[in-house]
Homo-oligomer: A and B are copies of this chain.
Protein backbone atom coordinates (compact mmCIF):
# COMPACT_ATOMS: atom_id res chain seq x y z
CA UNK A 1 0.00 0.00 0.00
CA UNK A 2 1.42 3.38 -1.06
CA UNK A 3 2.65 5.88 1.48
CA UNK A 4 0.35 8.89 1.38
CA UNK A 5 2.07 12.16 0.55
CA UNK A 6 0.18 14.41 2.89
CA UNK A 7 0.13 17.75 1.08
CA UNK A 8 -2.02 19.29 3.77
CA UNK A 9 0.51 18.45 6.49
CA UNK A 10 3.59 19.35 4.43
CA UNK A 11 1.95 22.60 3.41
CA UNK A 12 1.17 23.34 7.08
CA UNK A 13 4.84 22.65 7.94
CA UNK A 14 6.01 25.05 5.22
CA UNK A 15 3.58 27.73 6.31
CA UNK A 16 4.73 27.37 9.92
CA UNK A 17 8.38 27.70 8.79
CA UNK A 18 7.49 30.74 6.71
CA UNK A 19 5.55 32.32 9.56
CA UNK A 20 8.65 32.02 11.74
CA UNK A 21 10.96 33.38 9.01
CA UNK A 22 8.68 36.33 8.33
CA UNK A 23 8.44 37.10 12.06
CA UNK A 24 12.23 37.11 12.35
CA UNK A 25 12.58 39.23 9.22
CA UNK A 26 10.07 41.77 10.50
CA UNK A 27 11.81 41.82 13.89
CA UNK A 28 14.78 43.29 12.01
CA UNK A 29 12.61 46.27 11.10
CA UNK A 30 11.16 45.20 7.75
CA UNK A 31 7.50 45.79 7.01
CA UNK A 32 5.25 42.78 6.45
CA UNK A 33 5.36 41.17 2.98
CA UNK A 34 2.41 42.21 0.82
CA UNK A 35 0.39 40.35 -1.80
CA UNK A 36 -2.20 41.93 -4.11
CA UNK A 37 -4.58 39.70 -6.02
CA UNK A 38 -6.59 40.93 -8.98
CA UNK A 39 -9.97 39.29 -9.44
CA UNK A 40 -12.02 40.12 -12.53
CA UNK A 41 -15.69 39.25 -12.83
CA UNK A 42 -17.32 36.68 -10.58
CA UNK A 43 -16.05 33.24 -11.55
CA UNK A 44 -16.95 31.19 -8.43
CA UNK A 45 -13.81 29.02 -8.64
CA UNK A 46 -11.56 32.09 -8.81
CA UNK A 47 -13.38 33.61 -5.84
CA UNK A 48 -12.84 30.44 -3.78
CA UNK A 49 -9.16 30.20 -4.77
CA UNK A 50 -8.48 33.82 -3.93
CA UNK A 51 -10.18 33.45 -0.53
CA UNK A 52 -8.05 30.38 0.27
CA UNK A 53 -4.90 32.28 -0.71
CA UNK A 54 -5.74 35.37 1.32
CA UNK A 55 -6.45 33.21 4.38
CA UNK A 56 -3.08 31.45 4.03
CA UNK A 57 -1.40 34.83 3.62
CA UNK A 58 -2.89 36.13 6.88
CA UNK A 59 -1.74 32.98 8.68
CA UNK A 60 1.91 33.35 7.70
CA UNK A 61 2.03 37.11 8.30
CA UNK A 62 1.61 38.36 4.74
CA UNK A 63 -0.64 41.40 4.32
CA UNK A 64 -2.94 40.80 1.40
CA UNK A 65 -5.50 42.66 -0.60
CA UNK A 66 -7.90 41.60 -3.34
CA UNK A 67 -8.76 44.18 -5.97
CA UNK A 68 -12.03 43.32 -7.68
CA UNK A 69 -12.97 44.51 -11.13
CA UNK A 70 -16.14 44.12 -13.18
CA UNK A 71 -16.04 41.54 -15.97
CA UNK A 72 -16.29 44.32 -18.56
CA UNK A 73 -13.14 46.20 -17.48
CA UNK A 74 -11.14 47.20 -20.55
CA UNK A 75 -7.74 45.68 -21.18
CA UNK A 76 -6.27 49.16 -21.15
CA UNK A 77 -7.62 49.95 -17.68
CA UNK A 78 -6.46 46.59 -16.33
CA UNK A 79 -2.95 47.05 -17.73
CA UNK A 80 -2.80 50.57 -16.29
CA UNK A 81 -3.80 49.28 -12.85
CA UNK A 82 -1.15 46.52 -13.02
CA UNK A 83 1.47 49.07 -14.02
CA UNK A 84 0.49 51.22 -11.01
CA UNK A 85 0.91 48.16 -8.76
CA UNK A 86 4.29 47.44 -10.38
CA UNK A 87 5.41 50.95 -9.38
CA UNK A 88 3.84 50.89 -5.92
CA UNK A 89 6.48 50.28 -3.24
CA UNK A 90 3.87 49.10 -0.76
CA UNK A 91 2.98 46.17 -3.05
CA UNK A 92 5.21 43.07 -3.22
CA UNK A 93 3.56 40.14 -5.00
CA UNK A 94 1.01 40.65 -7.77
CA UNK A 95 -1.32 37.81 -8.67
CA UNK A 96 -3.84 38.03 -11.51
CA UNK A 97 -6.55 35.38 -11.13
CA UNK A 98 -6.91 33.43 -14.38
CA UNK A 99 -8.76 33.03 -16.63
CA UNK A 100 -9.42 36.68 -17.48
CA UNK A 101 -12.55 37.54 -19.54
CA UNK A 102 -12.34 36.71 -23.25
CA UNK A 103 -11.93 40.29 -24.49
CA UNK A 104 -8.68 40.64 -22.55
CA UNK A 105 -5.41 39.19 -23.88
CA UNK A 106 -4.27 36.86 -21.09
CA UNK A 107 -0.67 36.65 -22.30
CA UNK A 108 -0.40 40.44 -22.43
CA UNK A 109 -1.73 40.66 -18.88
CA UNK A 110 0.72 38.02 -17.59
CA UNK A 111 3.60 39.82 -19.30
CA UNK A 112 2.52 43.17 -17.85
CA UNK A 113 3.19 42.01 -14.28
CA UNK A 114 6.71 43.13 -13.34
CA UNK A 115 9.09 40.14 -13.40
CA UNK A 116 10.15 41.16 -9.89
CA UNK A 117 6.61 40.89 -8.48
CA UNK A 118 5.36 37.99 -10.61
CA UNK A 119 4.56 35.47 -7.84
CA UNK A 120 2.80 33.18 -10.33
CA UNK A 121 5.89 33.01 -12.58
CA UNK A 122 3.80 33.56 -15.71
CA UNK A 123 5.58 36.55 -17.24
CA UNK A 124 7.25 35.22 -20.40
CA UNK A 125 10.59 36.57 -19.25
CA UNK A 126 10.36 34.59 -16.00
CA UNK A 127 9.41 31.53 -18.06
CA UNK A 128 12.53 32.12 -20.14
CA UNK A 129 14.64 32.35 -17.00
CA UNK A 130 13.24 29.06 -15.73
CA UNK A 131 14.03 27.54 -19.13
CA UNK A 132 17.54 29.00 -19.07
CA UNK A 133 18.13 27.77 -15.51
CA UNK A 134 18.46 31.30 -14.15
CA UNK A 135 17.30 32.01 -10.60
CA UNK A 136 13.76 33.38 -10.92
CA UNK A 137 10.14 33.25 -9.77
CA UNK A 138 8.72 29.85 -10.78
CA UNK A 139 5.04 28.83 -11.11
CA UNK A 140 3.73 27.68 -7.73
CA UNK A 141 2.39 24.35 -8.99
CA UNK A 142 5.83 23.35 -10.29
CA UNK A 143 7.44 24.37 -6.99
CA UNK A 144 4.74 22.42 -5.14
CA UNK A 145 5.52 19.23 -7.05
CA UNK A 146 9.26 19.70 -6.54
CA UNK A 147 8.83 20.30 -2.82
CA UNK A 148 6.54 17.29 -2.32
CA UNK A 149 9.11 15.08 -4.03
CA UNK A 150 11.96 16.51 -1.97
CA UNK A 151 10.19 16.36 1.39
CA UNK A 152 9.10 12.78 0.68
CA UNK A 153 12.77 11.94 0.00
CA UNK A 154 11.98 10.49 -3.39
CA UNK A 155 15.12 10.14 -5.50
CA UNK A 156 15.14 11.91 -8.86
CA UNK A 157 18.70 11.94 -10.22
CA UNK A 158 18.76 9.79 -13.35
CA UNK A 159 15.26 8.48 -12.61
CA UNK A 160 12.47 8.26 -15.18
CA UNK A 161 9.79 10.90 -14.80
CA UNK A 162 6.67 11.08 -16.93
CA UNK A 163 4.90 14.42 -16.97
CA UNK A 164 1.38 14.05 -18.36
CA UNK A 165 0.06 17.34 -19.74
CA UNK A 166 2.13 20.24 -20.99
CA UNK A 167 0.27 23.40 -19.94
CA UNK A 168 2.38 26.51 -19.48
CA UNK A 169 1.46 26.90 -15.78
CA UNK A 170 1.80 23.25 -14.69
CA UNK A 171 3.10 20.44 -16.94
CA UNK A 172 5.75 22.40 -18.80
CA UNK A 173 7.34 24.20 -15.81
CA UNK A 174 7.29 20.87 -13.95
CA UNK A 175 9.17 19.27 -16.86
CA UNK A 176 11.65 22.17 -16.77
CA UNK A 177 12.36 21.79 -13.05
CA UNK A 178 12.52 18.02 -12.99
CA UNK A 179 14.93 17.49 -15.89
CA UNK A 180 17.32 20.30 -15.05
CA UNK A 181 20.65 20.14 -13.37
CA UNK A 182 21.70 22.16 -10.34
CA UNK A 183 21.19 22.43 -6.60
CA UNK A 184 17.42 22.90 -6.76
CA UNK A 185 16.79 20.91 -9.85
CA UNK A 186 16.19 17.25 -10.13
CA UNK A 187 18.32 15.76 -12.95
CA UNK A 188 15.63 13.27 -14.02
CA UNK A 189 15.02 11.89 -17.50
CA UNK A 190 11.69 13.52 -18.35
CA UNK A 191 9.09 12.35 -20.85
CA UNK A 192 6.43 14.91 -21.77
CA UNK A 193 3.15 13.16 -22.67
CA UNK A 194 0.03 15.00 -23.80
CA UNK A 195 -3.21 14.65 -25.69
CA UNK A 196 -1.42 13.52 -28.87
CA UNK A 197 0.31 10.65 -27.04
CA UNK A 198 -1.55 7.43 -27.96
CA UNK A 199 -3.15 5.77 -24.88
CA UNK A 200 -1.05 2.60 -25.23
CA UNK A 201 2.14 4.68 -25.37
CA UNK A 202 1.07 6.74 -22.36
CA UNK A 203 0.55 3.48 -20.48
CA UNK A 204 3.94 2.16 -21.59
CA UNK A 205 5.80 5.34 -20.56
CA UNK A 206 3.98 5.41 -17.21
CA UNK A 207 4.79 1.75 -16.53
CA UNK A 208 8.52 2.42 -16.78
CA UNK A 209 8.38 5.65 -14.75
CA UNK A 210 9.81 6.02 -11.26
CA UNK A 211 7.71 9.17 -10.85
CA UNK A 212 4.46 10.07 -12.63
CA UNK A 213 3.30 13.67 -12.45
CA UNK A 214 -0.08 14.16 -14.04
CA UNK A 215 -1.68 17.54 -14.74
CA UNK A 216 -4.45 17.07 -17.28
CA UNK A 217 -7.82 17.46 -15.58
CA UNK A 218 -8.94 14.12 -17.06
CA UNK A 219 -10.35 12.02 -14.18
CA UNK A 220 -9.29 8.37 -14.18
CA UNK A 221 -6.62 8.89 -16.87
CA UNK A 222 -3.93 7.16 -14.80
CA UNK A 223 -5.04 3.67 -13.80
CA UNK A 224 -3.39 1.33 -11.33
CA UNK A 225 -2.22 -1.01 -14.11
CA UNK A 226 -0.22 1.87 -15.63
CA UNK A 227 1.92 2.28 -12.51
CA UNK A 228 5.18 0.48 -11.78
CA UNK A 229 5.29 -1.19 -8.36
CA UNK A 230 6.73 1.32 -5.91
CA UNK A 231 6.59 4.38 -8.20
CA UNK A 232 5.65 7.82 -6.90
CA UNK A 233 2.44 9.32 -8.26
CA UNK A 234 1.88 13.08 -8.00
CA UNK A 235 -1.58 14.16 -9.05
CA UNK A 236 -1.88 17.83 -10.05
CA UNK A 237 -5.30 17.35 -11.68
CA UNK A 238 -8.36 18.61 -9.89
CA UNK A 239 -11.82 18.21 -11.40
CA UNK A 240 -15.28 18.61 -9.92
CA UNK A 241 -17.47 15.56 -10.63
CA UNK A 242 -20.73 14.17 -9.28
CA UNK A 243 -20.19 11.35 -6.79
CA UNK A 244 -21.99 8.32 -8.34
CA UNK A 245 -23.05 7.12 -4.87
CA UNK A 246 -24.46 10.33 -3.39
CA UNK A 247 -24.93 12.55 -6.43
CA UNK A 248 -23.06 15.31 -4.61
CA UNK A 249 -20.16 17.19 -6.20
CA UNK A 250 -16.69 16.06 -5.23
CA UNK A 251 -13.11 16.81 -6.32
CA UNK A 252 -11.05 14.16 -8.06
CA UNK A 253 -7.61 14.07 -9.65
CA UNK A 254 -6.32 12.43 -12.83
CA UNK A 255 -5.42 9.23 -10.98
CA UNK A 256 -7.72 6.35 -10.10
CA UNK A 257 -6.64 6.72 -6.47
CA UNK A 258 -8.05 3.54 -4.90
CA UNK A 259 -6.55 1.41 -7.64
CA UNK A 260 -3.25 3.27 -7.82
CA UNK A 261 -2.49 3.26 -4.09
CA UNK A 262 -2.29 -0.56 -4.17
CA UNK A 263 0.67 -0.38 -6.57
CA UNK A 264 2.44 2.95 -6.01
CA UNK A 265 5.16 3.56 -3.45
CA UNK A 266 4.05 7.14 -2.78
CA UNK A 267 0.87 8.88 -3.83
CA UNK A 268 -0.76 12.28 -3.36
CA UNK A 269 -4.47 12.40 -2.59
CA UNK A 270 -6.89 14.80 -4.30
CA UNK A 271 -7.88 16.96 -2.53
CA UNK A 272 -5.15 17.41 0.06
CA UNK A 273 -2.09 16.78 -2.12
CA UNK A 274 -0.69 19.28 -4.57
CA UNK A 275 -3.50 21.84 -4.02
CA UNK A 276 -2.57 23.06 -0.52
CA UNK A 277 1.12 22.93 -1.45
CA UNK A 278 0.52 25.33 -4.34
CA UNK A 279 -0.89 27.85 -1.87
CA UNK A 280 2.12 27.40 0.44
CA UNK A 281 4.51 27.98 -2.49
CA UNK A 282 2.64 31.16 -3.40
CA UNK A 283 3.36 32.41 0.11
CA UNK A 284 7.01 31.41 -0.31
CA UNK A 285 7.21 33.29 -3.62
CA UNK A 286 5.61 36.34 -2.01
CA UNK A 287 8.22 36.34 0.76
CA UNK A 288 11.01 36.01 -1.84
CA UNK A 289 9.59 39.04 -3.66
CA UNK A 290 9.27 41.00 -0.40
CA UNK A 291 12.91 40.35 0.49
CA UNK A 292 14.14 41.26 -3.01
CA UNK A 293 12.04 44.43 -3.09
CA UNK A 294 13.32 45.48 0.34
CA UNK A 295 16.92 45.10 -0.87
CA UNK A 296 16.08 47.08 -4.01
CA UNK A 297 14.50 49.88 -2.00
CA UNK A 298 17.47 49.96 0.37
CA UNK A 299 19.90 50.19 -2.55
CA UNK A 300 18.09 53.05 -4.22
Partner-B contacts on A (CB < 8 A): 107, 123-134, 157-158, 160, 166, 168, 172, 175-176, 179-181, 187-194, 196-198, 201, 204-205, 208
Is A107 in contact with B128, judged by CB distance below 8 angstroms? no
Docked CA distance A190–B196 (Å):
11
Is A197 in contact with B124, judged by CB distance below 8 angstroms? no
Which listed residue (B128, B181, B188, B197) contacts A128, Cβ 8 A? B128
Is B134 in contact with A107, judged by CB distance below 8 angstroms? yes
Given A125-B125, A127-B132, A166-B179, check contact A205 B189 (CB 8 Å). yes
Give 13 A-B contacts (CB < 8 Å), ordered by A residue.
Answer: A124-B128, A124-B134, A125-B125, A127-B127, A127-B132, A130-B131, A131-B131, A158-B196, A158-B197, A166-B179, A181-B194, A189-B193, A189-B201
Docked CA distance A194–B187 (Å):
8
The 10 closest A-B pairs by CB, nearest first: A128-B128, A124-B128, A127-B128, A191-B191, A187-B196, A158-B196, A189-B197, A125-B125, A127-B131, A179-B192
Which listed residue (B133, B168, B172, B188) contacts A196, Cβ 8 A? B188
A191 contacts which chain B residues (CB < 8 A)? 189-192, 205
Question: Could you say which of A128, A172, A187 has the most chain B C-beta atoms within 10 Å of its C-beta?
Answer: A128
Is A107 in contact with B124, judged by CB distance below 8 angstroms? no
Which listed residue (B127, B158, B180, B208) contacts A198, Cβ 8 A? B158
